[in-house]
A and B are shown apart, each in its own frame.
Chain A
Amino acid sequence: MIEAPAPLPAQAAVVPRGAALRRGLRANPLMALGAVLSLLIVVVALFAPLLAPYPADAGSATHPFAVLQAPSSLHWFGTDNVGRDILSRVIFGTRVSPVVAVFVLVIACVIGIPLGVIAGYFGGWLDEVIMRVTDIFLAFPPLLLALALAAVLPPSLTSLVIAIAVTWWPWYVRLIRGQAASVAGRPYVESCRALGIPAHRILLRHVLPNSVTPLIVQVSLDFGGVILTVSALSFLGLGAQDPTPDWGLMVAEGQNYFTTAWWVVTFPGLAILVTAFAFTLLGDGLRDLLDPKRTFLR
């Protein structure tokens, strides 16, 4: 019996990075959309004071004679229950939950990477201890643990960062550990050891750089998820407090006026959706480009 030829891998040839990126973008218009939207959000965050029509409304300004006005040429997204311009608050909102998300992911990486590399490289009882502790944290659905922590901490953005970071790092330990363990067994690492290079140097110069790619992909994929978590906790009143123009909080505050003033809830929520959507599209595309074999369970 003649064996069928194995299907050719899609991109066997080595192509320069730029060309691969361009080709990837053409093959994946969704990633291009995600990239454009993400860039737009970053630009809006950087230039918020210039873009917002009423920058003072992002804070505690009140306009008693302009409450709950429907969208108009003066207030494109309408005004809220104390008369603040919702467009301005949505624009300044790009500086709240996305920034919280950056902090959360940085902290999660700072905790997760060293633990993961150590567990994967050294193995043995150290690995056992680190991974069992990780398992305990992973026994909670992420939003649940963050919620329990945020509920017992005083409500603030700092508490929010702590609560979410505490739930996020174990995923990165697990991810990096798997990579580090496979790298640790490769011949070049073994030869490093044979040469008498100290462990910390092997870890930093050889193991870490070779295990970090999937983490980069995961972090970019997680950005949208963290923003959703931040918004959810703020919606429950566990995060940002009133004058802060946080999207989740704005949805919660608008709830009471929603049946008569649809715009107070609609636009901040839309901002959450667009932001999470944009970064997830981007992360998804990046994964396809850099790491096509990995599955996504998060």
Chain B
Amino acid sequence: MIVYVVRRVATAILVVAGVVVLTFVIARVVPGDPAATWAGPHASAAQIAAARRFLGLDRPPAVQLASYVGGILTGNWGVAIHTHRPVLSDIGQAAPASIELVTAAMIIGLAVALPLGLISARWPGRASDHTIRAGSILGVSMPIFWLALILQLVLSDRLHLLPVAGEFSPGLLFTHPLTQVTGFGVIDAPLTGNWPMFGSILGHLLLPALVVAAYPAGLLTRMIRAQVLDTIGDTHVQMIRALGFRERTVYGRFAMKLAWNPVVATLALVFGYSLVNTFLVEAIFDWPGLGQYATASIQTLDTPAILGVTLFIALVYVAANLVVDIVQAAIDPRIRLR
């Protein structure tokens, strides 16, 4: 097991090194002049030259790469052009809101996918199965930025069922200000006994989370259906059935148990996808997370910020995959031998 973990961590470090180099290459590919962007549209040639020196763009590429890697290791991820603040602290401030959103979406997705996938697999070929399969493919085919706009219009603007946008009702800032503990609103509010704020955050979180959940719900339903169908014919599941367990138990407990492993492996992947999907919806819902930061950076051609977010999400994604692999290896010894 230790050998497996060490090997797996080593590959992850290699991949991370590659990811850092790749983001650097992308930054160098940029056809515009970052120094000119930094200095602003009315800067003189001297000011642009000064900005170039300040940003280190006058040095040879190898030196730039070395200082870029050094900066990333020491927590200096550059300065965002549009906020003029360090990229890493911007990310640190925005990340909790996005992680909240994606986690909520994953919970909703899994809560929808589990029963639907099991129902679909239990009666394959029936109308219910076809409907659920069509629904799950609809979920993965959904342009979520469009879904966000439609649901916002229908549920918030017309029916007034849910708040339109924001992280909480702004009025609460005066009556029940949020005390920062972890930076995660959904944790800090109950932790400090701030129940009105907690309710408001949950209410504001629901709509964006529903939208982001479209992809996880669709993908996980498909996966669970396929995995359960795959294991239901296995001899040991037949054995459980022969022992007289109810069909419910055969599917829900025994077939599903075997299906969990690949489903868990997919969770890391889905988490990464959904984190990027927040780029498409956070601006619509004015949710103050990474997605909104990223779209603001894109609109201002803020290369350091864009690459900072890219790098951060890639690191999260690599780490999530690493954790999932190790957890899986701990559960299933066969994986260690691969």
Q: Beyond A137-B22, A140-B310, A152-B32, list 8 extra A-B contacts (CB 8 Å).
A: A135-B15, A143-B276, A148-B307, A151-B297, A228-B143, A232-B280, A265-B146, A272-B146
Task: Give bound CA distance, A124 to B318, whole Å.
Answer: 25
Contact A139 B18 (CB under 8 A): yes
- Please list the residues of chain B having a beta carbon within 8 angstroms of any beta carbon in chain A: 11, 14-16, 18-19, 21-23, 26-27, 29-32, 125, 130, 133-134, 137-138, 140-143, 145-147, 149-150, 153, 157, 222-223, 226, 233, 235, 238, 242, 262, 266, 269, 272-273, 275-277, 279-280, 284, 294-295, 297-299, 301, 303, 306-307, 310, 313-314, 317-318
User: Which of A113-121, A173-181, A196-204, A233-241 forms contacts with chain B?
Assistant: A233-241
Chain A 133-158 residues near chain B, CB threshold 8 A: 133, 135-137, 139-145, 147-149, 151-154
Interface size on A, residues (CB 8 A): 53
| Interface residue A281 (Cβ < 8 Å from any Cβ of B) | yes
* Cβ-defined partner of B130 (8 Å) among A29, A265, A296: A29
- CB nearest to B272 among chain A residues: A141
Contact B146 A296 (CB under 8 A): no
Contact A136 B149 (CB under 8 A): no
- 14 A–B contacts from the bound complex (CB under 8 Å): A33-B134, A135-B15, A136-B19, A136-B21, A136-B22, A137-B22, A144-B276, A149-B26, A152-B31, A236-B295, A237-B299, A251-B149, A273-B141, A280-B140
- CB nearest to B22 among chain A residues: A136
Contact B314 A139 (CB under 8 A): yes
Q: A140-B19, A238-B298 are in contact. Are A269 and B150 (CB under 8 A)?
A: yes
| Interface residue A27 (Cβ < 8 Å from any Cβ of B) | yes
**Inter-chain contacts of B284 with A (CB < 8 A):** 255
| Interface residue A277 (Cβ < 8 Å from any Cβ of B) | yes
**Nearest chain B CB to A146's CB is how many angstroms away?**
9
Chain A 245-298 residues near chain B, CB threshold 8 A: 248, 251, 255, 258-259, 262, 265-266, 269-270, 272-273, 276-277, 280-281, 284, 295-297
Contact B272 A132 (CB under 8 A): no
**Nearest chain B CB to A35's CB is how many angstroms away?**
14
**Inter-chain contacts of A142 with B (CB < 8 A):** 273
- CB nearest to A159 among chain B residues: B31
| Interface residue A209 (Cβ < 8 Å from any Cβ of B) | no
Contact A139 B143 (CB under 8 A): no
* Cβ-defined partner of A235 (8 Å) among B137, B145, B318: B145
By secondary structure, the B interface counts as helix
Contact A236 B134 (CB under 8 A): no
Task: Give bound CA distance, A171 to B297, whole Å.
Answer: 28
Contact A262 B153 (CB under 8 A): yes
**Inter-chain contacts of A15 with B (CB < 8 A):** none
Task: Give bound CA distance, A266 to B273, whole Å.
Answer: 24
| Interface residue A98 (Cβ < 8 Å from any Cβ of B) | no
- CB nearest to A293 among chain B residues: B230
**Inter-chain contacts of A272 with B (CB < 8 A):** 143, 146
Contact B141 A269 (CB under 8 A): no
Task: Give bound CA distance, A297 to B222, whole Å.
Answer: 10
Q: A281-B137, A296-B222 are in contact. Are A251 and B146 (CB under 8 A)?
A: yes
The 7 A-B pairs of least Cβ separation, nearest first, read A269-B146, A136-B18, A276-B141, A152-B30, A141-B272, A277-B141, A148-B310
